[in-house]
Amino acid sequence: MTAAKDSPAFLEAHGLTAVVESGSLRRISFGGREVIRLIDTPIRDADWGTLPTETLRMEMKPKAGFQHDFRTKNGSIEGCLTVSVVASGHTTQLVADLVLTALRECVVNRAGFVVLHPLDGVVGAPLDVVSPDGVTYQTRFPKQISAAQPVMNISALSHNVGDVRVSLVFEGEIFEMEDQRNWTDASFKTYCRPLSLPRPYTLAEGAQVRQRITATLAGVTQSGRIPASAARSQSAVMPEICLAHEVELTGAPHPHLSTIAPQELQLRLHGDMTVPADLPDLPMTVELVLEGDDPEAAIRQAQVNLARAGIAAHRVIALPQPYLNSHQPQGSWPEGPTPMDLIPLLRSAFPEAQMGGGMLTNFTEFNRCPPDPALIDFASFGTTAIVHAADDLSVVESLEALPDVIASAQVLGGGRALRLGLMSIAMRSNPYGSGVVPNPNGARLPMAMFDPRQSDEFAAAFAFGIAAACARGGVASFAPAMTSGPLGMADQQRFWPLWHATSALAALAGTPVDIEGSPASGLVVIRGKGRRGVAGIAANLGATDVRIDGPALRITSRKSPDWIDTAGRGSDVILPAMTAALLTGSAP
């Protein structure tokens, strides 16, 4: 049968189930256990942006496979993916064949298969690898997040996921693996082509890429099976809530920020270090991006400008401008001073301030260039959920990776306080290319700064998911939003759900809370005794409606910036998928 071009379809054959969406296979399960998170065929441009595609033809055979014909929307590449599922004895085999044809000469960083391996039952598990020359060896999926590729030169992989044996054979290209938790993706990724080869590269007009993946699944008897993550209750302390400000992105801060009552402002200064006017009266972490070849002079200029503006920096972190770009661990690094070389200069200019180390971009860069804990007082980085994929499910799945990200950062930071920067859906800056991806039509696009979910309830629920992970991981502070702009919390007509979610988090900041549930379980509830009558928050991160019993109010856009102060007691509420609620009853 021919499926609707953009609607999900379901493949179920010989004990295997999968969701088929726009030609990708998601949540591939065998015997009810997820064993492969995704098989996809992304085409990445020279800035690592994913080229949007359109379905030309989709023919499903629900009990046997499908064929997907597609083309990039810029008309450069046409593709055909054919998938078949067969059984042999007690095993099931999935075969995926891909043919890509360049309709005109085009420049890409990647064109071919990627396979995502789930985290549950996989982190730390043994892994058998076959290299292209036929050599077989055993390693493990890393437990601590790997900064570099944990496995190279792959032609076949085999491992257990719980009680399922998963064997994968790759043909048509050499593959390698990266730890996608680096980007808060909840997966390990086996992809082509190797990053050691030149990129970007050119596909000549008429050139073809032909690849095959064969996945063989079989049940095994395994003692000591790794159980699924439990949605246990945990006591913690809610982190302090910050707001990020960078005048090039935000413009002037929103005039009603005082109603949120955040604990701190993260002020980022570039270039001439001009301090913007009309900053809110808050404790300040100053982030300096140093340009030029005289960092000492730039730091002194920033100190003078801040003093003239009457700002005493509570905390300071600085980065040479080239470190806003990402560098492979084994690759060449920028010449000149490193971030740690700046610490003595910063302590001299700001003797009363705490010194930070880390990155002003993502955990990826923090992991590749960690600070020296002996030189710093706190460690910092940010996160964005749409580096590799921007669909709703992938964004929600990124919350599953946060506990590993935070645990790895605690190790790298040597126990110093984790004071994190902006943790958002959309991308603040692009360390992997020349800039963020333009998104004038408001689509769900990887690496875009403008994301349509920022202004709806999705962003509020997502922020609560981040807050739960940060509290459980012992994070000292983080920023769920910027003061205004595309990564902010309001427009001229409305105060978005994220505004009120941030207000609720700020009211709980620094107080003991009890956290129930997890992104995998769907419902996350944080109960406490916050300021301003806030007794907790709840987020439905699952796919079905859930009921919140007791006094609660659904968080939606409002005309009033101080809604949580006048919200009232509330009642039982029904939360649809990716919505959030304010708990207003008495805390236990």
Average pLDDT (260-267) is 98
CA nearest 215: which of 163, 158, 135? 158
Which of 399, 410, 412 lies closest to 463, judged by CA? 399
Are both 21 and 102 inside the same structural domain? yes
Instruction: Say if residue 243 is in the same domain as residue 141.
Output: no
Q: For the purposes of burial, counting CB atoms within 10 Å of the CB of 415, is it exposed (0-12), middle (13-18) or buried (19 or more)?
A: exposed
Q: Which of 187, 219, 251 is the last residue of a domain?
A: 219
CA 556 to chain centre: 24
Render 522-543 in DSSP notation, one character per residue. Answer: SEEEEEE--GGG--EEEEE-SS
Q: Of the candidates 510, 536, 565, which is a domain's last residue? A: 510
Structural domain containing residue 454: 234-510
> 190: domain CATH number?
2.70.98.10
Q: Summarize pLDDT for 30-43 with one digit per residue, the tens.
A: 999 999 999 999 99
Q: State whether 339 and 275 are in the same domain.
A: yes
HEC string of 384-433 equals: ECCCCCCCHHHHHHHHHHHHHHHHHHHHHCCCCEEEEEEEECCCCCCCCC
Which of 375-413 are b and which e, b meaning 16 or more Cβ less than 10 Å from the residue's Cβ?
bbbbbbbbbbbbbbbbeebbbbbbbbbbbbbbbbbbebb
Stretch 558-585: mean pLDDT, rounded?
94
As a three-state string, the secondary structure of 181-250 is HHHCCCCEEEECCCCCCCCCEEECCCCEEEEEEEEEEEECCCCCCCCCCCCCCEEEECCEEEEEECHHHH
Evaluate whether residue 264 is within a structural domain.
Answer: yes
Q: At what angle do helices 392-412 and 457-472 cross, to 10 degrees?
A: 30
Query: Is 284 in contact with 333 (CB distance < 8 Å)?
Result: no
What is the token pair recorded at 97? 């064949």
| Same domain? 251 vs 167 | no
**CB–CB of 316/376 below 8 Å?**
no
- What average pLDDT is seen over the chain? 94
Does residue 112 form part of some domain? yes
Q: Residue 455 domain-assigned?
A: yes
Same structural domain, 409 and 289: yes
Q: Final residue of a domain: which of 470, 493, 510?
A: 510
Residues 213 and 244 in one domain: no
The CATH number assigned to the domain holding 262 equals 3.20.20.80
Same domain membership, residue 441 and residue 345: yes
Which pLDDT belongs to residue 273?
84
Quick one: which of 210, 197, 187 has its CA closest to 108?
Answer: 197
| 161 plus 254 within the same structural domain | no
More confident residue, 250 or 8: 250
**Same domain, yes or no, for 271 and 166?**
no
All residues at 6 or more sequence positions from 45 whose CB lies less than 8 Å from its CB, including other chains: 51, 107, 108, 109, 200
Q: Is residue 547 part of a domain?
A: no
pLDDT surpassing 80 at residue 318: yes
| Share above pLDDT 90 across residues of the chain, in percent, rounded to a whole number | 89
Q: Based on the fold, state whether residues 394 and 276 are members of the same structural domain.
A: yes
Q: Is the pLDDT of residue 49 over 90?
A: no
**Do the Cβ atoms of 47 and 434 come closer than 8 Å?**
yes
Considering the domain architecture, whether residues 246 and 347 belong to the same structural domain is answered as yes
User: What are the φ and ψ backbone dihedral angles of 281, each rounded to 5 degrees?
Assistant: -80, 85
Confidence of residue 332 (pLDDT cuts 50, 70, 90): confident
pLDDT of residue 3: 43
| Closest CA relative to residue 323, chosen from 337, 304, 306, 344 | 337
Q: Is omega for the bond preceding 193 within 30 degrees of 0, making it cis? A: yes
The pLDDT of residue 89: 82
The CA distance from 51 to 88, in Å, is: 37
Q: What is the mean pLDDT of residues 204-231?
A: 75
User: Do residues 572 and 552 lie in contact, with contact meaning Cβ atoms separated by under 8 Å?
Assistant: yes
* Residue at 229 is within a domain: no
Structure confidence at residue 588 as a pLDDT band (50, 70, 90): very low
pLDDT exceeds 90 at position 184 = yes
Q: Which two tokens stand for residue 85?
A: 């599922």
Domain count, the chain: 2
| Residue 229 clears pLDDT 80, i.e. is over it | no
Has residue 480 been placed in a domain? yes
What's the one-letter identity of residue 558?
Answer: R
Q: What does the pLDDT average to over 401-413?
A: 97
pLDDT tens per residue across span 119-178: 999 999 999 999 999 999 999 999 999 999 999 999 999 999 999 999 999 999 999 999
Distance CA 451, CA 481 (A): 13
**Would residue 337 count as lying in a domain?**
yes
Under the banding of pLDDT at 50, 70 and 90, the label for residue 483 is: very high
Give all strands (DSSP E) within 483-570, no chain letters: 512-517, 523-528, 536-540, 546-554
18 has pLDDT over 80: yes
pLDDT at 221: 52
What are 345-376's pLDDT values in tens digits? 999 999 999 999 999 999 999 999 999 999 99
* 397 within some domain: yes
Q: Looking at the structure, do residues 378 and 488 belong to the same domain, yes or no?
A: yes
